[in-house]
Structure 1
Amino acid sequence: MCKLILTAGLCVIIASLGLPCLGSPPADFCKGKANGNHPNPTDTSSFISCSNGIPYKMPCPATLVYSPSVKVCVRPEQTKPFCQGRKDGNYANPKNSATFISCVAGLTYIRDCQAGLVYDSSKDRCDYSGSPPTANTGFCNGRANGVYPCYYNKRYYYSCVEGVTKVKSCDPGLVYVQYKKACDYPGKAPPMPKPCNGKP
Structure 2
Amino acid sequence: MTTTRTTTGIILAVFLFGLTNAQFKCPEKNGYFPDPIQCDLYYHCSRGVSEEKLCPDGLLFDDTNPSHERCDTSVNVECGDRTELQEPQPTKGCPRANGFFRHYDQGVCDKFINCIDGVPNELPCPPGLIYDDTKSTCAWPTESVRKDCTQSKKDALEDGFSCPDGEVTLPNGRTQPHPTFPHPDDCQKFYICRNGVIPQHGSCPAGTVYNDVNFKCDDPESVPGCENWYEEDDKKPKKS
Q: From the two aligned structures, give the one with the greater helix fraction.
A: 2
TM-score between both structures, scaled by the size of structure 2? 0.33
TM-score between both structures, scaled by the size of structure 1? 0.38
Q: From the two aligned structures, give the one with the greater strand fraction.
A: 1
